Amino acid sequence: MIRTASTIRTASLGTFTLYKRRLAVATKTASGIAGTMTLPVLWVLIIAPALASALGGFNPSIDYFTYVVVAQVALIVPFTSMFSGINVIVDKEFGILREFLVAPVFRASIPLANALAVLTIALVQVALIVGLGTARGAEFNTSPTGVLWFLAAVALLSLTTYAVAEFLALAVGRQEAFGPLIPAVGVTPWFLAGSLFPLNVLPPGVEQVALASPWTHALAVMRYGLMENTDPGLANIWHMNSELLMAALSLGVLMLMTLGALTLAVWVFNRKTMA
Amino acid sequence: MNVKDELARATMGEHGEEGRKMRRDLPPRPAHEGLGEVPGDSGAVVSVQHLRKTYPGDVEALKGVSFEVQEGEIFGMLGPNGAGKTTTMGILTTTVRPSSGSAVVAGHDVVREALAVRQAIGVAFQESVLDNDFSGLDNLRLHARLWRVPRVEADQRIAGLLEAMELTERARDGVRTLSGGMRRRLEIARALLSNPRVLFLDEPTLGLDPAVRQGIWESIEALRLRSRITVVLSTHYLEEAERVCDRVAIIHQGRIVALDTPKALLKSLGEEAVELKVEDDPATVLPVLAGLGLNGSPPLVMGKTITIPLTDGPTQAPSLMDRIRGQGIAARAMGIRRTTLNDAFLRLTGAGVDGEDGQLGGNQ
């Protein structure tokens, strides 16, 4: 019992220390803070209204501006995760990772702390998007439960994509090789996830690929949380009648993906950092 | 207060004067003379048995290394690049997984109890390993949190270590702005911050100018004087190891080829030597020297320098030099000097510690 308590204490203290350090790195420079905030602000204030105005929407029951504001959440969260993969490479090649490897913390604490720091940054960005969106006239139809569904999807998408970023960063090992992967892996799936148009207009085959993507499930659950009973995203995935059941299924899929991705990331981390 | 006193104070933590007295009262450090045999009891704070490491591609970095380090000892691992020093350090600091064999640090197995090992050690790496986005003070505070040093104690120790390492005035500057010597001193201070039982220093003075190297060795010697901390270090600078280490292990191609006190290693070689810098190919000179009936260790050759160790330097050297002159050997210079660990290294490995091939005269 004492041993278990001690293990939990060691794990949590180590993770928390590394988490705070990662956040400090992210917020160390004004350019770093501005960089994480520019796209959400630009999107909500300029791009989303422009898209809504130009395209008008595909379903009269859906406010297209709100639709693409939520889509922005599913864009910025993975993008932030992928971008933070660079920090993994910098820490390994030029920085402090070796110090962490000889510290009395569990090795898994290192990638997990990074993932939690990235999630924190993502939540700040999400708050900015939702806040600005509301101010700009987004019609969120939600409830406290809906917000929880939304936040759960945000968190799982952030953790999954961070795990993918960590895996890729350790696998390629160099900033020059990792840079091109950021848009390729961090943004491309977003276009297929029902971000700007519903899944059912995708070509056959591509739609099936989209169904295997965490972006697709996360975005559908996010809209279920913030646009209750208006968005057909979940129905396009599961073709069922119960919104709650479909949301639970998508969240379950996301959880499995998150668990798998984090396990893979920790495994790769151990392999790449232990000779 | 001088550097040694500052370091002593900083490494004694909250014990203050009481701690200082306690250390003064400690029994004298064991002298490990003889052939490097250390009692197999548990005075050993580091115990390595039959350690092997094979990297992918069947690269054998360690081929069965065994040694023990006693508490309070300064133990040096000497050898050229690729000898296996860094792999040994990596295993002892839990960043490299051994292929077979065992290693115990501070009573904990490095594989099964890696976390406990890491709690008990401090490490200064060969390369600079600092958080470049932050100041020296931030780096030290981060370390203190990771090693769970209580806040008040950490602040006291940080102040003392910064003072000891003469970094107080630069503590709040970004580490990117520090010189190589300052960064290295900061890293040693950081490694000492958690009051480790074992301090690992991987090439602590590599790439530093002589004055800075001198300062760092003084700091390590201060530790030896005032603290029971055990230090395991690797270095290329054999003369420096000779000065500071209680015992050294000479590692060559993944094996320990000698393990003893520097004094014993030199004694086995001969404490003084005649050094001869020749104009011609040394290979043509060696038979002539052999004909002079040398009764010490066979000559050592590195480039165009021939070193002839002598068992009784003061007596033998003058007459040997006369006999060499009498043979008409074209010499650019000739003199008597003390033997060094470099000579012992060349004798044991047939190569210089910098990897340059040497050769041994006489029958080996």
Q: Cβ B146–A25 below 8 Å, yes or no?
A: no
pLDDT > 80? residue B86: yes
Helix count (H) and strand count (E) of chain B?
13, 15
The pLDDT of residue B178: 92
With beta carbons under 8 A apart, name residues in chain B contacting A103: 118, 143, 146-147
Mutate to test the interface with B, among A21, A99, A273 (most CBs of B within 10 A): A99
Nearest by CB: A104 against B97, B115, B133: B115
Distance from CA of B261 to the nearest CA of A (A): 29
Nearest to B114 by CA among B123, B105, B101, B124: B105
Question: What does the alpha-carbon distance between residue A111 and residue A257 come to, in Å, rounded to a whole number?
Answer: 17
Nearest to A118 by CA among A76, A178, A175: A76
Which of residues B5 and A10 earns the better pLDDT score?
A: A10
Burial of B97 (0-12, 13-18, 19+ CB in 10 A): middle
List residues of chain A with CB under 8 Å from any CB of chain B: 10, 13-14, 17-18, 21, 24-25, 28, 94-96, 98-106, 273-275
Q: Does B143 touch chain A if contact means CB atoms closer than 8 Å?
A: yes
Distance from CA of A270 to the nearest CA of B (A): 10
What are the two backbone dihedrals, phi and then psi, of residue B337, each rounded to the nearest 5 degrees? Answer: -150, 165
Q: What is the mean pLDDT of residues B201-227?
A: 79
The pLDDT of residue B206: 79
Q: Does B176 touch chain A if contact means CB atoms closer than 8 Å?
A: no
pLDDT in tens, B253-270: 899 998 999 888 888 877
Q: Does B95 touch chain A if contact means CB atoms closer than 8 Å?
A: yes
The pLDDT of residue B28: 39
Nearest by CB: B94 against A10, A14, A102: A102
pLDDT in tens, B94-126: 999 999 999 999 999 999 999 999 999 999 988
pTM of this prediction? 0.81
What the block records as the tokens of B85 is 């020093």
Question: What does the alpha-carbon distance between residue B240 and residue B217 come to, in Å, rounded to a whole number?
Answer: 8
- Tell me the CATH class for B268-349: alpha beta
The pLDDT of residue A186: 86
Question: What does the alpha-carbon distance between residue A85 and residue A79 come to, in Å, rounded to a whole number?
Answer: 10
pLDDT in tens, B15-53: 333 333 333 333 333 333 333 334 344 579 999 999 999
With beta carbons under 8 A apart, name residues in chain B contacting A96: 129-132
Which of residues B329 and A152 earns the better pLDDT score?
A: A152
Q: Does B201 touch chain A if contact means CB atoms closer than 8 Å?
A: no
Question: What does the alpha-carbon distance between residue B224 and residue A263 come to, in Å, rounded to a whole number?
Answer: 45
DSSP class of residue B333? E
Question: What does the alpha-carbon distance between residue A109 and residue A90 come to, in Å, rounded to a whole number?
Answer: 18
Which of residues B287 and A103 earns the better pLDDT score?
A: A103
Ordered by start, the domain boundaries in chain B are: 3-260, 268-349
Q: Cβ A104–B146 below 8 Å, yes or no?
A: yes
Question: What does the alpha-carbon distance between residue A162 and residue A177 come to, in Å, rounded to a whole number?
Answer: 17
Question: What does the alpha-carbon distance between residue A127 and residue A104 come to, in Å, rounded to a whole number?
Answer: 35
Q: What is the mean pLDDT of residues A41-57?
A: 84
Nearest by CB: A13 against B97, B125, B148: B148
Question: What does the alpha-carbon distance between residue B329 and residue B137 come to, in Å, rounded to a whole number?
Answer: 61
Q: Cβ B96–A102 below 8 Å, yes or no?
A: no
A140 alpha-carbon distance from chain centroid: 20
Q: What is the mean pLDDT of residues A74-95?
A: 88
Which of residues B81 and B189 earns the better pLDDT score?
A: B189
Q: Does B96 touch chain A if contact means CB atoms closer than 8 Å?
A: yes
Q: What is the mean pLDDT of residues A221-231?
A: 87
Percent helix, strand, coil in chain B, to 5, is 40, 25, 35
Which of residues B223 and B194 earns the better pLDDT score?
A: B194
Q: Does B97 touch chain A if contact means CB atoms closer than 8 Å?
A: yes
ipTM of the complex: 0.83
Tell me the pLDDT of chain A averaged across its residues: 88
pLDDT in tens, A140-198: 888 999 999 999 999 999 999 999 999 999 988 888 899 889 888 888 899 999 888 88
Burial of A153 (0-12, 13-18, 19+ CB in 10 A): buried
Percent helix, strand, coil in chain A, to 5, is 80, 0, 20
Q: Return the CATH superfamily for domain B3-260.
A: P-loop containing nucleotide triphosphate hydrolases (3.40.50.300)
Q: Cβ B148–A104 below 8 Å, yes or no?
A: yes
Taking each helix axis as running N to C, give the angle between helix A144-172 and helix A214-226, from 0 to 180 degrees, rounded to the nearest 10.
160
The pLDDT of residue B22: 34
Q: Cβ A10–B118 below 8 Å, yes or no?
A: no
With beta carbons under 8 A apart, name residues in chain A contacting B134: 24, 28
Cβ proximity of B205 and B240 under 8 Å = yes
**Angle at Cα B237 formed by Cα B233 and Cα B242, nearest 5°?**
75
Q: Cβ A275–B55 below 8 Å, yes or no?
A: yes
The pLDDT of residue B13: 42
